[in-house]
Structure 1
């Protein structure tokens, strides 16, 4: 299992994020403290995640999925709960 960073921009006006967010949450343990950026622990590879999430996007939307397992990692400005998740889960 590895940690993936998922970031997106839904560019069409009136875009509904609910289905995309539920699909991301269904991938595994997740962390979400930035508007359109998630960290998810998953056995799926980046292409499989992209393909699963693509059905919740319009043609003008943008999606980035990156494997970020391991060091280096650093952050600043997150609350204790967010920092705790990063320290305990990101490997």
Structure 2
């Protein structure tokens, strides 16, 4: 069963492979449910562990790139968003 995660990243020079990283996140890491409401941050559901996700990202990462992946604990999240993002997050990510 998939679990909810937050993945955030900062791609530094020289390569900055944003397109390739986004494709990996959306098609290889995500179990089909993800949102990208912020620059360089995703909320997603995945059947992989955080370390398994990182292993897949390393293939396209440069040595200066930075990533942080953490599982979201149900009912232990908060933020200040408009209604539409909250609705999507509650129905597709942290249900």
Separation (CA, whole Å) in 2 of partners of 1:88 and 1:66? 19
Shift of 1:36: 0.7
The aligned counterpart of 1:74 is 78
The aligned counterpart of 2:3 is 2
Separation (CA, whole Å) in 1 of partners of 2:20 and 2:69? 17
Q: TM-score, normalised by structure 1?
A: 0.88
Runs of 4+ in 1 over 6 A off after TM superposition: none
Q: TM-score, normalised by structure 2?
A: 0.85
Gaps of 5+ in 1: none
Correspondence 1:84 to 2:82: no
Gaps of 5+ in 2: none
- Contact 1:2 / 1:69 at 8 angstroms: preserved in 2? no
Separation (CA, whole Å) in 2 of partners of 1:34 and 1:69? 20
How many matched pairs?
90
More helix by share: 2
Aligned alpha-carbon RMSD (Å): 1.5
What is the CA deviation profile of residues 6-61 of structure 1, one whole-angstrom value per residue up to 9, with x for unaligned ones? 10000115623001000000122101101011011011001000101111110010
Correspondence 1:20 to 2:21: yes
